[in-house]
Amino acid sequence: MNPIPRQVRDPGRTDGLLLLSDITAAPDPHVHYRQLRARYGNVAPVALEPGVPAWLVMGYRELLTLVRQEHVFSRDARNWADYRSRIVPADSPLGPMMFPRDNVIGADGAEHRRLRAPLDHAVAGIDLRAMRRAVKDVCDGLIDGFAARGRADLVTEYAQAVPLLALAGQFGLHGAAGHELLAALAALFGSGTDSQAGNRSFEEILRSVRDQRTHRPGDDLTTALATHPALRTPDEVLQSMVVMISAGQETTTIWIARTLARMLTDDRFAAQLRGGRLGIDDALDAVLQDEPPMTHMPARYALADTELGGRPIAAGEVLILGLAATGTDPAVHTGTPSPGSRAHLAWSAGPHGCPARVPARLIAHTAVETVLRRLPGIHLTEDTTAISYRPSPWTRFLSQLPVRFPPNPGA
């Protein structure tokens, strides 16, 4: 009889543990966070997949410790015992977000700082006034496409397109070139047979603008990266472009969709549509507080036996950033959050904290503002609680946001 290989996953290791994807799929994940906290405290055992355990860090203070103590908690998945021993198979759906990558996201220490400096430099050089105008044009262009119809799906026809087109413009891909990149990305993430072709064409488009700017610098993010001395090879430039676009695309889409959903359903924000008190930034902040775009963020890997939130963590174990849970940690938040509160960790913190908070807010703010300005009388045609999420352990991506509004044929 063949011995059972050690690599076989043992679902018994996670018996009784909650699956991360069950939390993100729940109508209100905070119900689960409250139950987990009551049972385990701020650092709770959960399952990434049946047989693959992880720690979910739900405390505000514990999360800050996790992301700041880089010498104890690494970002590099090669330090994950279940990855090294192949308990997580090579074709696991966890791969794209968790397996090792030679880019800024998977690097620690000096190597991380080297790859991160060009991103910070590029973001700091953005002309925000010009960007606001460009993003407004993108938003207006998309709304022109459906304004006369009197109805739209604000996820697929709007929130999903705005961040990519806005970012493409910042990389020097305007107009049709931006739409080409959007089509390539849609093919890449679609499950159809054009997925591989989409990947090639996505990188092809970015490679081509990189090569152009290397020879003839312009005034955009591509030039800032292509001419930065810390990036040693053309491929590092390309990977930095890919990382920025892929890190910004889905997160900003979710932020826009959730904020629109909230403004169209929550009375406090709906009043704003009729000249009330709370504005778009309040709604954007409220979303970051209790339903941030990255509900759960992978990951850190313990480099040594240690302790967090009173839990013993063994070397090689994986910890997930419970960003949504920290927004309602009772140790920090007492009572209802006040409007405009930014006491959340939606952007994470420490060396890997999001480098693009300012442009991301600019994109999301402009996207929400343009809908409210262009489509007066807009309302949701379905209760948001009836709308499903794309299954994922990491995000709560509304599959659609159907709306109606008085048709605007002049658009």
CB of 6 to ligand HEM, least distance (A): 30
Percentages helix, strand, coil for the chain (3-state, rounded to 5) are 50, 10, 40
For the chain, how long is the longest CA-to-CA vector?
75
Which residues make Cβ contacts (< 8 Å) with residue 394, sequence separation at least 6?
A: 20, 24, 97, 294, 295, 296, 297, 298
Q: Which is nearer to ligand HEM, 278 or 321 (CB)?
A: 321
Helical H segments across 57-174, by residue range: 60-68, 81-84, 95-98, 109-124, 128-144, 162-170
Q: Which two tokens stand for residue 48?
A: 């990434």
In the complex, the residues that contact ligand HEM under the rule CB under 6 A are 67, 104-105, 116, 119, 243-244, 247-248, 251-252, 255, 288, 292-294, 297, 323, 346-348, 352-356, 359-360, 363
Q: Which is nearer to ligand HEM, 198 or 355 (CB)?
A: 355
Cβ 396 vs Cβ 24: under 8 Å = yes
CB of 196 to ligand HEM, least distance (A): 25
CA distance linking residue 172 with residue 131, whole number of Å:
12
CB of 66 to ligand HEM, least distance (A): 9
Question: Pseudo-torsion of CA 31, 35, 40, 44, nearest 10°?
Answer: -40
Three-class secondary structure of residue 152 per DSSP: strand
Q: Which is nearer to ligand HEM, 120 or 305 (CB)?
A: 120
Q: Which is nearer to ligand HEM, 309 or 355 (CB)?
A: 355
CB of 287 to ligand HEM, least distance (A): 8
CB of 288 to ligand HEM, least distance (A): 6
Q: Which two tokens stand for residue 269?
A: 């924000």
Helical axes 162-170 vs 234-265, angle rounded to 10°: 140
Q: Which is nearer to ligand HEM, 18 or 354 (CB)?
A: 354
Q: Which is nearer to ligand HEM, 146 or 262 (CB)?
A: 262
Residue 137, phi then psi, degrees to nearest 5? -60, -40
CB of 247 to ligand HEM, least distance (A): 3
CB of 64 to ligand HEM, least distance (A): 11
> How far is the first Cα of the chain from the last one, in angstroms, to the nearest whole number?
72
Q: Which is nearer to ligand HEM, 147 or 333 (CB)?
A: 333
Q: Which residue's CB atom is positioned nearest to ligand HEM? A: 248
In the block, residue with structure tokens 């994986």: 318
CB of 58 to ligand HEM, least distance (A): 15
The 10 Å CB-count burial string (b at 16+, else e) for 113-125 is eebbebbebbbee
Q: Which is nearer to ligand HEM, 147 or 294 (CB)?
A: 294
